[in-house]
Amino acid sequence: MKQSPCVLVIGAGMVGTCCALYLQQAGHHVTLVDSGQPGSGASYGNAATFATYGCIPVNHPKLLSELPALMSGADQPLSISLPYVPRMLPWLIRFLCHCKRERVDHTIRALASLLAHAEDASLPLFRAAGAMDLIKRNGTMYLYSSEKALAAAKEDIERRRQHGVAITDLKAEQALELEPALAPVFAGGILYNDGFHLHDPQQMVSRLAKRFVADGGQLMQGEVKMIEALTSNRLNVRTQETDLQAQHVVIAAGAWSTQIASPLIEPLPLDTERGYHVMFPQDATLLTRPVGMADAGLYLSPLADGLRAAGTVELAGLHRPQNPRRLDYIERCVRRALPQAGQRGDTWLGFRPTLPDSLPVIGRSTRHSSLIYAFGHHHIGLTLGGITGRLVQQIIDDEAPVIDLTPYRPQRFND
Ligand SMILES: Cc1cc2nc3c(=O)[nH]c(=O)nc-3n(C[C@H](O)[C@H](O)[C@H](O)COP(=O)(O)OP(=O)(O)OC[C@H]3O[C@@H](n4cnc5c(N)ncnc54)[C@H](O)[C@@H]3O)c2cc1C
């Protein structure tokens, strides 16, 4: 019988919870620790799309020419907080260096190879958690506000097709036939035919965590402060309350992953692309599927508790409070697309974990082989949780991984 070493997973977001489940299924004794409730970080307030088409990164050749406009105001899909620029300059320079065509193509290939396994790796977990009722499969629409924006997107749409994504082109009137509540303010767009979304992403993570506990996993609340080596194959994890020992530790703490103190964590250039949501609680029935307002940088997603307008990118770190101008921008975009939208409800600020090449790190620490990284899933972590969990299990069990892990290895930042 296979030995069952202890694994401790830090972070019960979509990524950490899927890691815990895959490791548990492989026979490990797993503890999942989070400072809050499962799914209360970025996995809570996102746009809820299972974005298997999401292989095009934000740092893109076009970003360089658009940067001056983006620097000059909050009324843009991407905004940069000027006071934060000096702190994030090294990250920002690396992020912008990855706008070069050949680097972007590398990122697209590496994201596409994860995305190709996203459904196969996630759906069995969703099913085992009795959570298939949270899935609505009706495609995902992307609309562009002008002919110019649509034409500029053509190349990337083709790239997605080349990676096997099923896409139907939509004329403006076809989009309105599919979603009649939309105002005629779009030049056209596309339908990702196979796209689906979750009615309530936090509920999904919560059900996954319940399955994990029902199958004997240990879920703990606690903030991890420190990770230290005890021996060459044993680690000590210090929380505020207690010390926990494990043979393997997985860091899946999203945007906070490198905030944990440890000589075992090498310097990894993790920062955050902040994103927002604004709820319109009475308006979930206005749409039948998520509608991406592509050039506005946000989705309108019909969810269990209302219509959620979620997205945009703000580079301003982990500590600055919500920026009301970003929320007003989102509200204006919503009212333009859906003039009959009612009163605005709750708002939310979330922290996407992003490395400068827009690829996650999935691999062993170079400083201690018992420490495994699983973070940095930026705009598509809800989609990539399952495949990341499967890969982390394969790393820990020294099995051949389902895909080549080279693009995600932590050492790439020292190459
Ligand atoms: C506006 C917006 C829209 C998005 N839309 C989509 C979308 O439509 N589709 C998609 O696929 N992705 C989307 N994303 C991205 C997605 O939400 C994230 O990539 C994903 O949630 C990251 O999951 P995670 O588990 O890595 O991180 P998180 O969900 O943030 O989980 C990390 C967990 O670690 C815990 N933690 C942190 N530090 C510690 C510590 N020291 N000790 C213990 N616990 C700790 C936190 O409490 C948290 O629960 C969106 C993101 C945003 C912001």
Contact 165, 146 (CB under 8 A): no
CA dist 383 and 15 (Å) reads 9
pLDDT at 2: 46
**Ligand 1 atom nearest 54 alpha carbon:** 11
188 lines ligand 1 (CB under 6 A): no
Percentage above 90 pLDDT, the chain = 91
Q: How far is the CA of 226 from the centre of ligand 1 (A)?
A: 20
Distance 162 CA to ligand 1 centre (A): 29
How far does residue 102's CA lie from ligand 1's centre (Å)?
Answer: 28
CA distance 143 to 194: 16
- Give the residue, out of 8, 9, 34, 203, with the most ligand 1 atoms within 8 A of its beta carbon, to mutate for a pocket test: 34
The verdict on the CB of residue 260 being under 6 Å from ligand 1 is yes
Say if ligand 1 is within 6 A of residue 218 CB.
Answer: no
Report how far residue 128's alpha carbon sits from residue 208's, in angstroms, rounded to the nearest whole number: 8
Q: What is the 349 CA–ligand 1 centroid distance (Å)?
A: 11
For ligand 1, whether the C-beta of 197 sits within 6 Å is no
**CA–CA distance, 46 with 364 (Å, rounded to integer):** 28
Q: For residues 216 and 211, what is the distance between their CA atoms, to the nearest angstrom?
A: 9
- Check if the beta carbon of residue 347 is closer than 8 Å to that of residue 274: no
| Token pair of 244 as six digits | 């926990």
Ligand 1 centre to CA of 354 (Å) is 11
CA-nearest residue, atom 31 of ligand 1: 13
Of 249, 371, 255, 228, residue with least CA distance to 314: 255
Report the atom number in ligand 1 closest to the C-alpha of 384. Answer: 11
**Mean pLDDT for the stretch of residues 162-184:** 97
The C-alpha angle 160, 254, 119, rounded to 5 degrees, equals 40
The tens digit of pLDDT for each residue in 234-274 reads: 999 999 899 999 999 999 999 999 999 999 999 999 999 99
pLDDT higher than threshold 80 for residue 307 = yes
pLDDT given for residue 68 in this prediction: 78
pTM: 0.97
Residue nearest (by alpha carbon) to ligand 1 atom 27: 254
Structure tokens at 204: 């999904």
Average pLDDT over residues 43-67: 92
Q: What is the mean pLDDT of the chain?
A: 95
Q: Is the CB of 201 under 6 A from ligand 1?
A: no
